[in-house]
Copies of this chain bind each other. A is one copy, B any other.
Amino acid sequence: MNMMGLPRSVGEIYGLLYFSEKPLPMDAVASRLGISIGSASQGLKNLRTLKAVRSMYVAGDRRDHYLAESEFRRLFSNFMKDEIMPHLESAKERIRRMEELIDSSNIEAQNAKFYQIRIEKLKRLTKASSRLLPAMAGLLKL
């Protein structure tokens, strides 16, 4: 979770649900972890957005009950699609703009050459990432 840029508490919520056979209502999560229901609500919202948990109906109980997505392969591929890929695309866009800037401004030939080489490396990196990262999800045969 830390790697995914989420607070510790969100990791704790996921961990609790991952090791719970029954779906848990929010108040149980909050009291078990000793956090406020406000935090629990926000944390669960984050996890729902990532599709790392889903809420389900439990007969005879008004409360939402939460269940962890336990297929890491699916977690990973969702995260890739929703978080990493958009970043990569915006990186590509920024690199493109940088390139234009260098072409249009009158930088000395030697410096321009250097910048172009560095930009080329960045382009190769983003390209390789776009290729490799989605492939990884496929390789994760868990």
Residues of A in contact with B (beta carbons under 8 Å apart): 2-3, 5, 18-19, 21, 70, 72, 111, 114-115, 118, 121, 124-125, 128, 132, 136, 139-142
Q: How far is the CB of A80 from chain B (nearest CB, A)?
A: 13
Q: Is the CB of B18 within 8 A of A118?
A: yes
Q: Which residue of B has the minimal Cβ distance to A113?
A: B21
- A21: chain B residues at CB < 8 Å are 111, 114
CA distance A81 to B18 in the complex (A): 28
Main secondary structure on chain A at its contact with chain B?
helix
List the B side residues contacting A111 at CB < 8 Å.
21
Contact of A132 among B5, B114, B139 (CB under 8 A): B139
Are B140's CB and A128's CB within 8 A?
yes
State whether A142 and B124 are in contact (beta carbons under 8 Å apart), knowing that A3-B3, A136-B136 are contacts in the complex.
yes
Contacts known (A2-B5, A21-B114, A118-B19); A72 close to B136, Cβ less than 8 A: no
Contact flag A140-B136 (CB < 8 Å), given A19-B115, A72-B121, A125-B72: no
A132 touches B140 (CB 8 A): yes
